[in-house]
Amino acid sequence: MNSSSRGGTFVMVLYLVFLMLPIYWLVNMSLKTNFEINTTVSLWPRDITFEHYIKIFTDSSWYSGYINSLTYVVLNTIISISLALPAAYAFSRYTFVGDKHLFFWLLSNRMAPPAVFALPFFNLYSAIGLFDTPWAVALAHCLFNVPLAVWILEGFMSGVPREIDETAAIDGYSFPRFFVKIFMPLIASGIGVAAFFCFMFSWVELLLARTLTATNAKPIAVTMTRTVSAAGMDWGLLAAAGVLTIIPGALVIWFVRNYIAKGFALGRV
């Protein structure tokens, strides 16, 4: 190994350590007792304990947070993708009055801070009885996720030659059959990437999720704020909850890692 590549390796290792340190510290903390966290600085747990994880998996006020979060995230992803598919097809294949403006307007929705929408959503959902349900959060997140999914899918769809649509029409395919059987497999990676981004955004979004829920549909991120009590912070429990929050995102990233590179290549991610 020559000196320049050794230097490169060194920089790379330093960078990885820098990136991984907070995550390691989180895992480290989640396996320590609160006594150890509060009294010493240890690079690894002296006295490994799984009590925090056991509490999360047995206490329904904790694990229901995960279930609530996953429910609205999955709902949102399904709604966003099924709305975005036909919309993206229209933007990609047809020209209509104001299509470019509409496309840009969709994107500009993402520029508005979520806080702007928190109040109207709260009032609207309270009025129609959606408040404190997973649907409230799932629908609210569509405001940001549908435009994003349309934008990503439009890029992938425009990469499919229009002649394929025409050939299918000549072959006699009805539009729904063509769309499901011929077209969707061609943009499968785009659907994967769009679904991933919807999932991640909805999973990490806190403000709307918090405003639009009270008890029944409380997401995990909100539950985590409960650890402050008269007895002080339950650091270990909080860390364990944090570790479990990272896992779904990490899993999804693992599944779409190859498609994301393609999405970046298209300039749409």
By the criterion CB under 8 A, which residues form the site for other proteins? Answer: 161, 163-164, 166-173, 177, 182, 185-186
Nearer to other proteins, 174 or 215 (CB): 174
Residue 77 CB, nearest distance to other proteins (Å)?
A: 23
d(CA 191, CA 147): 14
Nearer to other proteins, 63 or 179 (CB): 179
Write out the two tokens for 187: 């943009």
Residue 110: strand, helix, or coil:
helix
Nearer to other proteins, 183 or 235 (CB): 183
d(CA 73, CA 153): 19
Q: Tokens 């320590």 label which residue?
A: 32
Residue 82 CB, nearest distance to other proteins (Å)?
A: 20
Write out the two tokens for 266: 């298209």
Residue 164 CB, nearest distance to other proteins (Å)?
A: 6
Whats the size of the chain, residue-wise? 269
d(CA 131, CA 106): 25
Residue 163 CB, nearest distance to other proteins (Å)?
A: 5
Nearer to other proteins, 85 or 240 (CB): 85
